[in-house]
Every structure is written in structure tokens, then in C-alpha cells.
Structure 1
Amino acid sequence: MPLRQHIATLADGQAYRHAVFYKLPGGLRFRMAEGGGHFAGVLTAVRKATVVCEDVFAGADTILVHLQRYATANRFDLRPTLKQLRLAGITLPRVREIWTEPVPRSDPDDDDSWWLNALFELPRSHLASLLWCAFAKDMWELQPNPHCQVYLINPATGLMAHPYDDRGMDVVGTSHEALRQLYTAHHAWLLDYDRETMDRSFATPPPA
């Protein structure tokens, strides 16, 4: 199956970008950072997300990685991203799919810009590096930092993890049972703000 078909199936043909918990209903939202400085917050987020993702990718040898980055008409601005990925030990494999999507203009005089997408498989051993890149993306002082969205997909189970920043991580997918198991196993880390929504989907009866 072509790599892009996996994400089309997972998202039911919809374009997803950021906040996938709200764009693809029926998922989970986990609280990651627990205070402290930027470096400590990212380390805590990586540690907790690794625990959850070990269940998301249980039995899998590889991770399907979808990177998404804003790009201007000056395509050279992508070179720092590739350099930072290499510093994190991540090199895009030869087998990959790369495409662009135009960013809608709010003003006719705006310069052209795109969302650049890269989709490829990596060994599961790269999980911690991928999580670091995801959680550090908005913190310019932290390195390595490719400043891109990171989506981690398990095609076998139809689950996708999106560590959106150091505060949290969404997990969505096509398997209600797999999501229910994550809800039960990691209930203490669910984000309180959206807990009622998740309880309606997975709690029978709601936990005490």
C-alpha cells in the first residue's frame, strides 16, 4: 500500500493539521509537561509520551513518520530543518513521499507559502528522538530542533500519536478498542480539560 494511503485511511480522507483530537473525534488527549523550565518540561514530556507510545507501537518494528512544516517561496529555508533532523539522528530514507499543500492566502498580495509534508518509515528505536523534536519545536533555544509537526503512525492498529507541544499529546485512530485500552492504561495522564469528552467515549461506567 502507498504510504499516503495509510494516512488517508486513518483520517477518512480528511486533511488533518494540528489539534487532531478535535479534527478526528473519538480520540485521547494526554497531559505531558508538569511545570519547570523548558528543558525539564521537554524531558518530562518525552518520558511520559514514550510510556504511552510504547503501547501505541506495541509489537511494531517500525514507525510511519509524517513531518509537516511551513515553507515559504524560498525553499532554502528547509535546509536548517534537514540539518536539525540529522543532528537528532534522523535521516530521511530513500523510500519516502514528499508533497506540498498551498497555504490559503489571507491577502492577495501575500507571498506564496506551503505546508511541506514528508512521509517515511523509521525503526522504532528512533522514538525518543522523534518525540524530542516534536516537543521542542516551539522552543527556539533548544537543540536539535527541526521546528516541524511530528505525527507518529502505527498502520497495523490504525493509531496515530501527535505530540503537539510540551504540554500534551493527542492519540487518535480507527480502532475504538485500542484507544479504550490506552484510556484505561494511562487514565491518570488524560488532560482534565477534555476528560469529560473522553469519558463519554470510553468510560462504562465512568471511573471513580
Structure 2
Amino acid sequence: MSLRQHIATLVDGQPYRHALFYKLPGGLRFRMAEGGEHFACVLTAVRKATVVCEDVFAGTDTILVHLQSYATPNRFDLRLTLRQLEMAGVTLPRARDIWAEPAPRDFPGDDDNWWANALFELPKSSLASLLWCAFATNMWELRPNPHCQVYLINPATGLTVHPYDDRGMDVVGTSHEALRQIYSAHYAWLFEYDLDTMDRHFAIPPPA
């Protein structure tokens, strides 16, 4: 089974990308940034997300990484993405799955634009670099910045982490118990807007 086929089994074959908390009910949504200028927001997000991800990836030495980048027909933007990834300390290994898929029809721009996907394993020591790339994605003035979506997957527990920008991070998966443990350990950082939904799903009173 290829890595690409394997990740589909982790979410019961459902499309897991973008707005994971709303597409896959039963997940978690964390508040990351706490105000301030752009650089400080990203650093705060990286710090908090690292704490959560240390629990998500406890007991494993590697992270399954899925990167998705928007690309135009000239492909030059992908070279820029790879260069920025390398500057951030993220180098794609030889063992990887790479594929392309059309951009959604409602995506602005030329109909020939597409999404480039790369799936590969990295050591857990790469976590901070990956989180920086994820949280800086909408901060055009920050570098390094590959401007790509970053999904971090723990195949052993079936949990997928999507740090979507400096504001927040989703954690979803098919293991209710694994999610419940993350919910309990990091309750203070859950997004207030969606807290009632998470409380109802996990049926545990808020900590005192």
C-alpha cells in the first residue's frame, strides 16, 4: 500500500483537507495566536502547537507529512516553494509520493492551475520547522515561507493535524480515545467559538 493510499484509510476514505474540524465531525480546533505583530503571532503559534503535537506524536520518532501547494502552469512557483522549504530545514526525502490534482473550479485564476501534493516521512525533530512553514503561510512578508498547506499525520493513532494559519490548528482522526486525551490535556487552548460542540462530543465536564 502506498503512503497516499494509507492516509485515506486514516479518515475512513473521507477527503480530509481544508477546514478539517467542520468536514470531519468529532475533532478538535485549537486557538493559536494571541495577538501582536506577525512575527510574534507565528512564534506563539509554533510554541503552543509544539506542545499539542508532542502529545499527538508521543511514542513515535517520525511524522508523516503531507504538503499541498498551489501551482500555475509555468511550474516556477514550485521551485520557489522547494527553495523556501529547504531554507526552513525541510528537505523532501527520496522516498515520497508526489501527485497533482486540478484546483477547484471556484479557485480564482487560470483553469490550468493545479494542486501539487507531496507525502513523505520526516523525523519528529523537524516538527518546529514544519509548524513555522504552516503558520507563516499567510504572512507574505515573513521568510522562510513556502506558502503551502501542511498536514501532519500519526499513522499509529490515526490522528491528522492541520495548522491552517497563525490563528488556529485542527486535530482530527478516527480514534475517539486519542482525541479525548488531547482534548483533556489542552482544554484551555480550544477555540471558544466551537467549544460547545467539542464539549458535547466528548461528554466530559470542563476541568475545574
What TM-score does the superposition give when structure 2 sets the normalisation length?
A: 0.95
Give the superposition deviation at 1:206.
Answer: 4.9
Number of the residue aligned with 1:164: 164
SS in 2 for 1:64: strand
Give the superposition deviation at 1:7.
Answer: 1.4
Number of the residue aligned with 1:115: 115
Give the superposition deviation at 1:154.
Answer: 0.3
Taking structure 1 as reference, are residues 102 and 34 closer, same or farther at Cα in structure 2, changes over 3 Å only?
A: same
Q: Aligned letter for 1:41?
A: C
Could you tell me how far apart the structure 1 residues matched to 2:104 and 2:34 are?
36
Q: Aligned letter for 1:44?
A: T
* Residues 11-30 of structure 1: pairs in structure 2 closer than 5 A: 11-30=11-30
SS in 1 for 2:33: coil
Mapped contact 2:27–2:171 kept (Cα < 8 A): yes
Number of the residue aligned with 1:2: 2
Mapped contact 2:103–2:114 kept (Cα < 8 A): yes
* Residues 51-66 of structure 1: pairs in structure 2 closer than 5 A: 51-66=51-66
Mapped contact 1:73–1:111 kept (Cα < 8 A): no
SS in 2 for 1:6: helix
Could you tell me how far apart the structure 1 residues matched to 2:110 and 2:86 are?
32
Give the superposition deviation at 1:18.
Answer: 1.3
Q: What is the number of residues matched between the two proteins? A: 207
Q: Aligned letter for 1:149?
A: Q
* Residues 57-206 of structure 1: pairs in structure 2 closer than 5 A: 57-106=57-106, 110-206=110-206
What TM-score does the superposition give when structure 1 sets the normalisation length?
A: 0.95
Could you tell me how far apart the structure 1 residues matched to 2:159 and 2:95 are?
22
Gaps of 5+ in 1: none
Mapped contact 1:137–1:149 kept (Cα < 8 A): yes
- RMSD after superposition: 1.5
Give the superposition deviation at 1:207.
Answer: 4.6
Can you list the C-alpha shifts for 1:90-131, whole angstroms capped at 9, x where unaligned? 110000000111123359x94311111100000000000000
Taking structure 1 as reference, are residues 33 and 112 closer, same or farther at Cα in structure 2, changes over 3 Å only?
A: same
The percentage of counterpart residues that share the same residue type is 81
Q: Aligned letter for 2:119?
A: L
Taking structure 1 as reference, are residues 47 and 74 closer, same or farther at Cα in structure 2, changes over 3 Å only?
A: same
Q: Aligned letter for 1:141?
A: E
SS in 1 for 2:116: strand
Taking structure 1 as reference, are residues 62 and 205 closer, same or farther at Cα in structure 2, changes over 3 Å only?
A: same
Could you tell me how far apart the structure 2 residues matched to 1:53 and 1:205 are?
23
Q: Aligned letter for 1:48?
A: K
Number of the residue aligned with 2:47: 47
Gaps of 5+ in 2: none
Mapped contact 2:11–2:158 kept (Cα < 8 A): no
Can you list the C-alpha shifts for 1:44-102, whole angstroms capped at 9, x where unaligned? 00000000000000001000000011111111210000000000111100000001111
Give the superposition deviation at 1:11.
Answer: 2.4
Could you tell me how far apart the structure 2 residues matched to 1:152 and 1:75 are?
25
